[in-house]
Amino acid sequence: MPKDLHHIVGGAHVPGTSGRFGDVYNPATGEVASRVPLASAEEVDRAVRTAAAAFPGWAATPAPKRAAVMFAMRELVAKNVDKLAELIGREHGKTLADARGSIQRGQDVIEFACGIPHLMKGELSPNVGGDIDVFSIREPLGVVGGITPFNFPIMIPLWMGAMAVACGNAFINKPSERDPSATLFLGDLWKEAGLPDGIWNVVNGDKEAVDALLHHPDVPAISFVGSTAVGEYVYRTGTSHSKRVQAFCGAKNHMIIMPDANMDQAADALMGAGYGSAGERCMAISVAVPVGEKAAEEIVSRLKPRVQALRIGPYNDPVADMGPLITSEAKRRVEGYIVNGVKEGAELLVDGRGASLQGYEKGFFLGGSLFDHVSTDMSIYRDEIFGPVLSVARARDFNDAVRMVNGHEYANGVAIFTQDGDAARAFANQVDVGMIGVNVPIPVPMAFHHFGGSKRSKFGDTQMHGPQSVQFFTKMKTVSARWPSGIRSGAQFTMPTNR
Q: What is the pLDDT of residues 159-174, one digit of tens each?
A: 999 999 999 999 999 9
What mean pLDDT comes out for the span 375-386?
98
Query: What is the side-by-side order of every strand in the sheet holding 143-147?
Result: 12-14, 7-9, 200-202, 170-174, 143-147, 221-225, 244-248, 458-459
A 10 A CB-CB count for 418 gives: 21
Q: What is the bridge-based pairing of β-strands 413-417 and 435-438?
A: parallel
More confident residue, 424 or 492: 424
Domains in the chain with CATH codes = 3-249+457-479 (3.40.605.10), 253-438 (3.40.309.10)
What mean pLDDT comes out for the span 2-6?
95
Per-residue pLDDT at 485: 72
Whole-angstrom Cα distance, residue 321 to residue 307?
11
User: How many Å separate Cα 196 from the centre of its chain?
Assistant: 26
For residue 375, the SS3 value is coil
Check pLDDT > 70 for residue 310: yes
What mean pLDDT comes out for the span 481-488?
76
Do residues 276 and 322 lie in contact, with contact meaning Cβ atoms separated by under 8 Å?
yes
| Residue 167 annotated in active site | no
Which residues face 14 on adjacent strands? 7
Summarised one tens digit per residue, pLDDT across range 408-426 is: 999 999 999 999 999 999 9
Check pLDDT > 70 for residue 339: yes
Contacts made by residues 354-360, CB under 8 angstroms, sequence distance 24+: 355/312, 357/312, 357/313, 357/314, 360/28, 360/29, 360/314, 360/324
Angle at 247 between CA 242 and CA 248, to 5 degrees: 170
Per-residue pLDDT at 488: 64
pTM for the model stands at 0.96
Catalytic residue among 114, 167, 249, 282: 282
What mean pLDDT comes out for the span 207-235?
98
Whole-angstrom Cα distance, residue 373 to residue 380?
11
Per-residue pLDDT at 130: 86
Per-residue pLDDT at 356: 85
Check pLDDT > 60 for residue 486: no
Per-residue pLDDT at 1: 78
Q: How confident is the model at residue 393 (pLDDT cuts 50, 70, 90)?
A: very high
Whole-angstrom Cα distance, residue 322 to residue 329?
18
Q: How confident is the model at residue 269 (pLDDT cuts 50, 70, 90)?
A: very high
Whole-angstrom Cα distance, residue 116 to residue 109?
11
Please name which of 341, 255, 271, 342 lies closest in space to residue 303, comparing C-alpha atoms: 271
Check pLDDT > 70 for residue 404: yes
Check pLDDT > 90 for residue 44: yes
Per-residue pLDDT at 498: 63
Check pLDDT > 60 for residue 352: yes
Q: What is the DSSP string of 28-44?
A: TTTEEEEEEE---HHHH
Q: What is the DSSP string of 75-123?
A: HHHHHTHHHHHHHHHHHH---HHHHHHHHHHHHHHHHHHTTHHHHT--E
Whole-angstrom Cα distance, residue 57 to residue 198?
11
Per-residue pLDDT at 495: 79
Whole-angstrom Cα distance, residue 350 to residue 206?
36
What rounded mean pLDDT belongs to the chain? 97
What mean pLDDT comes out for the span 67-91?
98
Summarised one tens digit per residue, pLDDT across range 428-463 is: 999 999 999 999 999 999 999 999 999 999 999 999
Please name which of 290, 253, 265, 262 lies closest in space to residue 436, comparing C-alpha atoms: 253
What mean pLDDT comes out for the span 57-69?
98
Do residues 437 and 269 lie in contact, with contact meaning Cβ atoms separated by under 8 Å?
no
Whole-angstrom Cα distance, residue 187 to residue 13?
10
Per-residue pLDDT at 489: 67
Q: How confident is the model at residue 484 (pLDDT cuts 50, 70, 90)?
A: confident
Per-residue pLDDT at 487: 60
Run of H or E including 347: strand 347-350
Provide the strand spans (E) within 113-211: 123-129, 132-140, 143-147, 170-174, 200-202
Tally of CA atoms within 13 A in the half-sphere of 162 that contains its CB = 35
More confident residue, 130 or 70: 70
% of the chain residues with pLDDT over 90: 95
